[in-house]
Every structure is written in C-alpha cells, then in structure tokens.
Structure 1
Amino acid sequence: MSQQKQRNWFARHKVLTGVGAVVAVIAIGGAVGSGGGSDDKSSTSATTQDAAKKADTPKKAEAKKAAKPKGLGGDGSYEVGSDIKPGTYVSSGNKDGCYWERAKDASGSPDAITANDNVTGTSYVTVAAGDKIFKTSGCKDWQLVDPKATGTPKSTLRGAGGMFKVGVDIAPGTYKSMGNTDDKCYWERAKDASHGMDSIAANDNVTGTAIVTIDAGDAYFKSNGCQDWVKTG
C-alpha cells in the first residue's frame, strides 16, 4: 500500500477546523431389581455413561461455537453486506502498524477512500451501509459492538490508548494531561465513529498541559501520543 493511502485521511496530529454452553442433562437411572448380578449392572451403567458423554461432546462444541463473538480478522478486505454487515466495530491492543480504511468501491484508488486511520491502542469505526469495502491491515481482530453494551467508565485513561467510548470506557468530565512535548499529543472529541470531518466536535495538538472537558453528549474521546489523562472535575 502506498504511503499516500496509508496516511491518515484527516491529517492526524494536525488540528482540524470544525466542531456456558447449553448442557443436555441426561438422567442415568439404574433400576434396582431383586435379581441379577452386580457385574451386569455396573457394565450397563458404564456403557450408558460413556454414551452420554459422547452425545454431550458435540453439543458442547456447538454451543461454544455459537457463543463465540462475531467479528473479522485484522488483515484483509471485506465486502460490506456479504462479508460483514454494517455497524460499529472495535479493535483493541494495537501497536504501531494497524491501518483501516472505509471505501466506496473496490478500485483501490485514493479517491475511493471515505475514511481511514492509522491506529495505536483501540479504534472504533462505524462501517456504513453505503460503504462497499472495509480494509484492515496489521490490526487485532475487529468485533461488532453491541449498541446496548454497558461498561464501567474510568476516570483515568492512557494518553496513547486511542479511542474511548464515552459512558462506557470513560466517564464524562474535565480531564488533564501534563508534560506533553513537541506537539505530539493529539486529542479529539467525536460525535460518532465514522471518522469524517463532520464527526469532530473539537480537537487540538498539545505541548505541555492539556485540559479538555468531555461532554456527556460526546460519543468518543480520542487520544494519541499524550501523557495519561486524569479526571479533575
């Protein structure tokens, strides 16, 4: 992939203008009779138990398979509507080298790119129904986000953690990050995870101390290259 395509579509680090398993319980009964040898009963019971275990094994495997979260690999191109369905996806634990791209066609040209980003840490991205291709390279697996999912919002967060969902990953409030150098700290308050320019409520590149109020109405907070953030109010 060319450097031109790998570059963040929205000029990252540049201030932008604009706002268990289902278990089948098998009852194994041993009829107690007045006659018959104990060896026969033991043999019958063992055979029944063995059959029950064999019958149970594929059911457990099937249940585990069904319980596995739906997602997609961190490398490859996926056709929206057939390979993946529209929705918001999350990929966590990424090091340098994770790149994703939403595209309006499969031409591979820069003009086809609707949005893209280079990711460190966590990224959320909403794949729209109008997208044709979602491309990902060097990323951890992507999981479809349950819109009703809840979490335990934190009042501290890693300054290089990527994206945080407000109300789930991070609590609203005023946060401070101190000791940032050389304009390498970039933060962004976002209205959604589409990564368009219209998604940005506010952003900044920071040297020194950064203070930002994350509103309850914000959808996400993004932080790259910053010192850790601590809630102060």
Structure 2
Amino acid sequence: MGMKGKVALGAVVGIVVIGAVSANAGDGGNSDSGSGAKSSSASGDRTTGGEKEKDAAGAAEKKAAFAGDGDFQVGTDVKPGTYRTTGNTDGMCYWERAKDSSGEVDSLLANDNVTGTSYVTVKATDKLFSSSGCKDWEAVDEKAKGSPGSTMSGDGGMFRVGVDIAPGTYRSSGNADDSCYWERTKDAEHGLESIIANDNVTGSAVVTISASDVYFKTTGCQDWKKSG
C-alpha cells in the first residue's frame, strides 16, 4: 500500500468528463471548506519574545495532523475531516483512501499522485488512509478566511475557491502535448462524482471557475491568470 510511483485510479489526468455531474453531493462537499494556511491571529501582541516563540512552536505542532508517510487507521490514527498537503514536487506524493486494509485494488475508494497541493476529505466510513512521499498533512480549518488570489501556478495542484483563489475566468496559454489538465470539483473526495467539469488541453485553456465550485485542480499547465 502507498508505494511511491503508484498510478492513481479514478478521477485522474487523462479522464475527461463530458458535461456536468449530478448535483447530489452525498455527504455535501461544501462542508469541506477552508484552508488553514491563510488563517492568522492577533493575539499575543503583548507577550514577551519568548512567549511568542513558545506559542508559535505550539501552533506548529498542532498544525501537522499526521506524517506524509504511513498507513493510518481512520478513527484511531486519523479523524474524519479534510486535510491538506502542500509543497510536493515531481509527483512523488501518493495517497489513497481505502475501505479496508487488505491492500487489494478493490479496496481503493480514491487515490492520486500529487504535485503541489492536495486537499483530501477522509470520511467516517473510510477504514484506512495511506500516504507515501508526501509533505506532512494538516487539518483544514473550515472557519479560516483567505485572501483569494487571481493567479495560479499551472502545476500547483488543488486550490480552494474563495480561499486560495477567487472565482472568475482564468486563462493558461502555451500548453503543449495535451499535458495540461484542469478540473473543477464540488468536494475533496476525489471520486468521479466529485467532478463538475475537466479537460486535457493543448494550446490555450480558458475556464470559468464558479463561486459555487469548491476546488480547482491544475497539473502540467502553464500558469493561470484571471482574465474576467
């Protein structure tokens, strides 16, 4: 389980869903919101330098929910919820959600190879979460507020709409060999039913990200800039 180089199944690069997917989100992807990386606190302004450093160290310890390598039992090692790993390079980060720990292909619920950032929702009905070659996973603060940007790295992975990036129309130009893949999703469960729309692109790509979208995924593309 979780070996580097495994090929992700399900909603991955090269699978293009034509048209929109049903709006029945099951557990409701809109609850998987927010990125903890953008949150900040004004407390501690009157503390001494030593106290500030202690508080910062404590916050860092709480931020990392679990390591980027290992098998984690859901409910024991990992609580159900949405998690994020960021700063991954070269697609060496691999994760998977499984319905049991048999290690068989039929056990897989979802998986992916990650470059950049990935958000993943671990459900209470999952039994095992495996991660290999990833940066540490952090719990997503659903109440955190972001400063949505208007540009994205074309190989940045997943961006939270309204937190990491602003909704709107984005353009990526100069893509070659059909290697640019983008995906609009309604949650971070990574099933085919999570996809609202996606495409593999050669040349220029233009996509409108709706305010009702929850995540936008981009791999192998040139950088995106908001054009409208």
Output the TM-score relative to the length of structure 2.
0.80
- Name the CA shift for 1:64/1:177 in 2 (closer, same or farther; >3 Å): closer
Question: In the alignment, what sits opposite 2:111?
Answer: 116
Q: Percent identity?
A: 59
Q: Tell me, which stretches of 5 or more residues in structure 2 are unaligned? A: 22-42
Partner-residue secondary structure (3-state), 1:153:
coil
Give the equivalent residue in structure 1 for 2:79: 85
**Paired position in structure 1 for 2:181:** 186
Establish whether residue 152 from structure 1 lines up as the match of residue 120 from structure 2. no
- 1:177 and 2:172 aligned: yes
Which letter does structure 2 place at the counterpart of 1:127? V
Cα distance in 2 for residues equivalent to 1:62 and 1:220? 31
1:66-120 Cα deviation digits (max 9, x unpaired):
6632411000000000101000000000012100000000001111000000000
Q: Are residue 76 (structure 1) and residue 65 (structure 2) matched?
A: no
Residue of 205, 214, 218 corresponding to 2:200: 205
In the other structure, the counterpart of 1:7 is: 7
Instruction: Tell me how far apart the structure 2 counterparts of residues 206 and 177 of structure 1 sit (CA, whole Å).
Output: 9
Q: Which runs of 5+ in 1 are unaligned?
A: 26-55
Q: Would the aligned equivalents of 2:65 and 2:136 in 1 still touch at CA under 8 Å?
A: yes
Task: Provide the alpha-carbon RMSD of the alignment.
Answer: 2.5
TM-score by length of 1: 0.79
- Residue aligning to 1:132: 127
Structure 1 match to 2:158: 163
Corresponding letter in the other structure for 2:115: T
Q: Write the letter of the residue equivalent to 2:70.
A: G
Q: 1:180-202: per-residue Cα shift (whole Å, max 9, x none)? A: 00000000000000001100000
SS in 2 for 1:6: coil
